[in-house]
Amino acid sequence: MIEFTSEDFEKMEHLYRINLINSSSGYKSANLIGTKSEDGISNVAVFSSVTHLGSNPALLGFFLRPTTVARNTYSNLKTTGKYTINHIHSDIIEDAHHTSAKYDSHISEFDATKLTEAYKDEFWAPFVKSAPLQMAMQIVEEHPIPANDTILVIGKIEKLYIQDTLLNDDGFVNLSKGNVATINGLDGYAIPELKTRLEYQRPKPEFVNSQK
């Protein structure tokens, strides 16, 4: 195996380091986060850090760095508290990735790409029309992360929209039926196919009630 130490990371060329460390956590979620400013300018940006926090209440978190392209998303979040999370799928990968370009705040990425904004149920923030899973989100907590000056944003799912074909009888959402993407590193995209679902696990009998 190839080995790197934290001292090696510090000496690396910038692009090599961000490729390496961004790939190291494993596969990442691939989402477009939609917001709209108080002035009515919509914004959409790709994020790969949306993470499930809990089901009751239904909470998701994501990390952002207010000094990067995420600054427009963050500014809209701060003023409105509302955002949408939309799953990236095979047909929109290129346009979704393009939202990582640093547009001025008066430009809507919906104008600069073929992504189409949609509004539902009078929710303030725009949804991405073709996404097979879309969520209306309300911020509930914000945690500054001193270790690297990022912010953990935690939101509650107010409304969840799912393409009919993805939903199983037991509530499982089969992401592969929507050709949902996953991200590898900074710029790698894959469209996984579900391989297996495994059962709820209990300890093997021979390891239960053994001597303490």
Segment 114-173, which members bind a copy of itself (CB under 8 A)? 133-135, 140-141, 143, 145-148, 150, 152, 154, 156-164, 167-168, 170-173
d(C-alpha 154, C-alpha 152), whole Å: 6
Q: Exposed e or buried b for every residue in 117-149, given b needs 16+ CB within 10 A?
A: bbeeeebbbbbbebbbbbbbbeeeeeeeeeeee
**x/- letters, 9..28, toward a copy of itself (CB under 8 A):** xx-x--xxxxxxxxxxxxxx
Nearest CA to 165 out of 148, 180, 152 is that of 180
Judged by DSSP in three states, 151 sits in strand
Q: What's the closest the beta carbon of residue 80 comes to a copy of itself, in angstroms?
A: 18
d(C-alpha 167, C-alpha 165), whole Å: 6
Kindly tell me which of 29 and 76 has the beta carbon lying closer to a copy of itself.
Answer: 29
Residue 204 binds to a copy of itself (criterion: CB under 8 A): yes
Number of residues that bind a copy of itself (CB under 8 A): 117
Kindly tell me which of 76 and 137 has the beta carbon lying closer to a copy of itself.
Answer: 137
Task: Report how far apart, in Å, the C-alpha atoms of 147 and of each of 12, 35, 88, 152 are.
Answer: 20, 27, 29, 12
Among residue numbers 48 through 87, which ones bind a copy of itself (CB under 8 A)? 48-61, 63, 65, 85, 87
Among residue numbers 82 through 111, which ones bind a copy of itself (CB under 8 A)? 85, 87, 90, 93-94, 97-104, 106-107, 111
